[in-house]
A and B are shown apart, each in its own frame.
Chain A
Amino acid sequence: MSESRRRKMRTAVLLLAPAVAVLLGVFVLPMLYILLMSFQNKQEHISLVNYATLVQDPYYLQVLWRTIKLSLLTVLACLVFGYPVAMYMAQASSKMRGIVTFLIIAPHLVSVVIRNFGWVILLGEKGLINNVLMQAGLIDKPLRLMYNELGVVIGLTDSFMVYMVLAIATSMYQIDVSLYKAAGILGAGKLRTFLNVVVPMTLPGMLAGSTLVFSLSMSSFVTLALMGGTSVKVLPVIAYEKIMTELNWQLGASISFLLLFSTVALVTLFTRLVETKRYKEVFSS
């Protein structure tokens, strides 16, 4: 190793050491401990009993499926509602772009708990929406807008759409506007240009946004507890219950690892599906 490379290495090690030390101490080691714990029975002997419970009891598979389903619905909602916002930002003046960026980030300066209570005021049984609809005579008993899966998806979409919007907008800023003109001249109307040029060119943004929103939704806890109430059980919530109320740390640990594993597996699968040969040809630098 040459002298200059050795010096570079030393700088790198020194710069990274504090962060690595903290991560090792408070993240990697506890994770390893939880992993070990998930392979222990109540008597702290090595055992596969927890994983056997997860596989054999249909309840846990139902919860896993619900966690995945709600996360996918949240990704879908973020795409549907976020894409137009990103499109607006891409063609807006830099001033409007700044204002919109601020507006979509600003709510996140408020704690997620407060924001979810805001939704209660709107969506609750005696909330604003039900009140208005009842007064107008459009319904005769309140609609159930929260404490169910709908409420959870609304809450999660509200929390995570910002990541989707910013990711898509970033890839949209990179499209040369003359491509739209070129498509138009060749005979493509607005819809065709959107489908044949805008959508394929923003795939990297949609993929990045979806990955983020999906992972965040899978592990979301506060919104689930507040917007889903007691009826919508997902993996983070039951892991919490096992550990905090049943004091069954071992089963809670295995649920945590089921969550981690399924998130990583699904994100990898999804990325593989999107990153076709063409995608790599076009978007790799």
Chain B
Amino acid sequence: MSKSFDVELINVQKKFGTNVVVDDFNLQIEQGECVSFLGPSGCGKTTTLNMIAGFLEPDRGDLLIKGKRMNGTPSNKRDLGMVFQTYSLFPHMTIFENVAYGLKLRKVSKAETKRRVDKVLDLVKLPHVAERYPKQLSGGQRQRIAIARALVTEPTLLLLDEPLSNLDAKLREELREEIKRLQRDIGVTTIFVTHDQEEALYMSNRIVVLDHGKVEQIGTPWDNNRPASEFVHTFIGKSNRLTGVVERVLDHTLELKTDTGISLRAVRRNDCFAAGDKVSIYMRPESIALHVEQRHSAATNVAKGTVKLTSFLGAYSECEIDIGQTVLTVRLQSVEQDGWLSPGMHVYTEWKPEDVFVFARKENGR
């Protein structure tokens, strides 16, 4: 027998009418892993989660949890824990009763229930709210209770459906830290659905990037430096896009020319370009450097431009540089002093070949 996984999805497909929302989804999740489903709304991430939870049935393919085929098994027989975007605590039950509900259904004794609920409330740092009702708690507190409720039954699998989306920015960071700590401490296998790439990068061992029901890439957070597709590259983080053509294909580099006449070199990554191919060229704002004077005589990977707009954003500054028909966003880690860059100034933008990402341009004008 092959290696056993906590969760396996094999060629899973789901249609709503004639609309294929999840297509040919294959994934294996190991014990203790935290895997994120990342993608824009409508990409199929929630539908997939709903199939794993048992709220929806796949039209095709198999779903295995702990090696057992789960197709057709109702949610209540799957032994899962789940946290919802809207908290979904039972308003008519106290916090204690909410957390204890799963144990009550499993006919756990009163003393044992009390012990486990107290323990899990300690774990989420809310031991003092047991007798209150959900509406007496703040959003962040409610979500912690929801996490406690999901964990108390010690489920095989923890499903988190955009658990942070209803919280404000500061609370979101606090809680994601806490969820990560809990997840790693307890070692519960976890699926985390989000549209926020930073959350996905922060939380997970692996990220599944989805678009239009198709898996675009499955990889570790580090793999984002090797994006499998234009979608993955642009969805995760900001990027500057230029259009151009391939001039020459060398062993390790591509020589490119943008439509505006700038020459570039890019490191090759499993591509199969030929000279003359139309391509999209991407560079991340943080990988572009700015200089007041031209440093090298080389005319590649350098473009002359004019500063249009600068914005100070705390840890870094962003400025927009007009390089002729294209505006590049450049992120500077530190600006020595205020006013170092001012609109109208002439600067040179420069980047390294390994920071240039090239994708084939589709013929439909993109």
Contact = CB atoms under 8 A, between A and B. Distances in A.
B86 A184 contact: no
A187 B149 CA distance: 12
A176 B88 contact: yes
B105 A282 contact: no
A42 interface: no
A197 interface: yes
B90 A197 contact: yes
B16 to A, nearest CB: 15
Given A179-B90, A182-B90, A187 B53 contact: no
A63 interface: no
B105 A188 contact: yes
B105 A187 contact: yes
A176 B75 contact: no
Contacts of A196: 90, 101
Given A188-B76, A189-B76, A282-B91, A181 B102 contact: no
B82 A185 contact: yes
Nearest to B135: A282
A200 interface: yes
A278 interface: yes
A178 interface: yes
A20 to B, nearest CB: 37
Nearest to B54: A184
A140 interface: no
B105 A192 contact: yes
A281 interface: yes
A249 to B, nearest CB: 50
A201 interface: yes
Contact of B92 (A184, A185, A189, A200): A200
B55 A181 contact: yes
A178 B74 contact: no
A200 B133 CA distance: 14
Nearest to A199: B92
Contacts of B89: 182
A275 to B, nearest CB: 13
B76 A185 contact: yes
Contacts of B78: 185
B329 interface: no
A284 B90 CA distance: 15
Give the interface SS of chain A, mostly helix, strand, loop or mixed: helix
Given A192-B105, A281-B133, A282-B133, A184 B76 contact: yes
A186 interface: yes
A182 B84 contact: yes
A110 B131 CA distance: 52
Contact of A176 (B86, B149, B153): B86
B92 A282 contact: yes
Contacts of B54: 184-185
Given A186-B105, A188-B105, A181 B92 contact: no
B81 interface: yes
B55 A201 contact: no
Interface string A169-194: 00000001011011111111100100
Contact of B81 (A184, A185, A200): A185
B252 interface: no
B232 interface: no
Contacts of A189: 74, 76
Interface in A159-177: 176
A179 B93 CA distance: 12
A185 B101 CA distance: 11
Among A187, A192, A197, A281, chain B packs the most CB atoms within 10 A around the CB of A187
Interface string B3-30: 0000000000000000000000000000
B295 interface: no
Interface string A262-284: 00000000000000001001100
B92 A187 contact: no
A121 to B, nearest CB: 45
Interface in B82-136: 82, 84-86, 88-92, 101-102, 105-106, 133, 135
Nearest to B134: A282
Given A181-B53, A181-B82, A281-B133, A186 B149 contact: yes
B80 interface: yes
A189 B55 CA distance: 13
B293 to A, nearest CB: 59
Given A187-B106, A188-B105, A192-B105, A181 B74 contact: no
Contacts of B81: 185
Contact of B102 (A179, A186, A201): A186
Given A183-B90, A188-B76, 6 more contacts: A176-B86, A179-B88, A182-B88, A185-B76, A186-B102, A281-B133
6 contacts: A178-B86, A181-B82, A181-B84, A185-B53, A186-B105, A186-B153
In the complex, the 5 A-B pairs of residues with the closest C-beta atoms, listed nearest first: A184-B75, A186-B102, A187-B105, A178-B88, A182-B88
Interface of A: 176, 178-179, 181-189, 192, 196-197, 200-201, 278, 281-282
